[in-house]
Chain A
Amino acid sequence: MNVTRGFTGRPRVRNDGLPPGQYDAGDDWPVLSAEVTPDLAPAEWRFTVDGLVAEPRTWNWDEAHALPPSAYEGDIHCVTSWSKFGVRFGGASLDAFLDTARPAPEATHVIAYSHTGYTANLPLADLTGGRAWIVWEYGDGPLPAEHGGPARLIVPHLYFWKSVKWIAGLRLLDHDEPGFWEQNGYHHRGNPWEEQRYSGD
């Protein structure tokens, strides 16, 4: 593209943690859900792993909390161009849930869905190996409802629309099926380092 006349942009800060096309949102944490924030109490929350697994399983709040604690400390990246540095989410590693359910050898993809019916698709490989969590803490407190509390999925190495708020479950599949934004023109995988924002990127 051509240079935009007279545009200089914000001062350049060398930041190796900033993917291409992203800016540091600082203390802001924009909320971008398309639906009404659900009124979901921890006692009502459930998380199910089913589909192509040896043992379909549903966890309630206490059962999920009984798993070994695990936290993500690092950065998150939203497709709308903001990134947020040095956040902490506490919960349990998704590996702990998947180890119980035991994915079938033919399982390759996952649909993650929320208690509002929102969906996002992910390759199973992006959810294993200590790269995804079910979290209920932000910083030192409970995860706020507008940010997905009581519990959400986080997959911080992908754009954050994949990190389904108010997580209700994962369905393991042997093929890729687009979720909500992926049906609305967004990229199937959403790797911020390759700037996979839209279908065709």
Chain B
Amino acid sequence: MRRAPVLALLALAIAFPLVAKDYDAIYYVSFASRVMIYALAATSLNLILGYGGMISFGHAAFVGAGAYAAGVLLVEGITSAWIGWPAAMAVSALLALAIGAVSLRTRGVYFIMITLAFAQMAYYLTVSMKAYGGEEGLNLPSRATLGFGLELKDDVTFYYTVLVLLVVALVLLQRLVHARFGRAVQAIRENETRMQAIGYPTFQYKLICFVIAGAFGGLAGALLANQSNYVNPSLLHWTQSGMLMIMVILGGVGYRYGGLIGAVVLLGIEELIANHKIAWLAALLPNYQQHALLGVGLILLAVVLFAPQGLAGLFARPAPAGNGRG
């Protein structure tokens, strides 16, 4: 994507809460925070799915593990975000290390199934954690503290915190993709056998990539927990993994802003259908709001059929002659 539209969008994102406050639309600031958190989660999935070619169907486990780690620390009285959020990333990274060490030995559909199975195991583990709410989930006393006079309780401050973390994560992951490591990982996606034959320990590379993605997924989870002051097992449910995958496919597999675009479009459509009655559509289909998922499904189908590269593929310049896609 070209630089100018990205900077324009960033300026818009910075200005948005100021405008929204004036119009008494603080709800949308909160909604936008949620979208950005999911954008972070989907972007981390896109690193392994798009660039690494590892079709993981268990990414919600890392998001959920981060959410629980952050949540449990808050409940136990450790409120500093400087401890809680890195801790959440560490927990998710360790979980990714364990899951990756086993599942990356498999290929294709087996990899998809085994990541799904591990994520469901993590889901049932949280269900059985009676001390931390079990099936009911865990209400958190408050959001984390940031220091420097910044109050995360304030939705606008929280919004900017999420925005900064999302931008930092996007920059870091983009550097990674174009650095030696990212080039190697993309080449492994294309031809793993040959990469071994020219001297790469491909399993280790894929595992490192998997762990990095897990850590950023964990950060997204910590932010999600803080935003809603609540964590529950459904964060780790396989449908969450599926939703993150849909975001990536919708936005553009292996595109820099694929995860971001997917999260904005998918959550935007859901919001539009669920909370806004569109008059002409209601006239046509009186009960359309009860069938929101059908609408999302139709849109996904249209994207897969007419824009197989995802929405980012429509905007991005054609893939350069190098091995990056955008």
**A and B: real partners?**
no
A residues near B, CB below 8 A? Answer: none
- List B residues at the A interface (Cβ < 8 Å): none
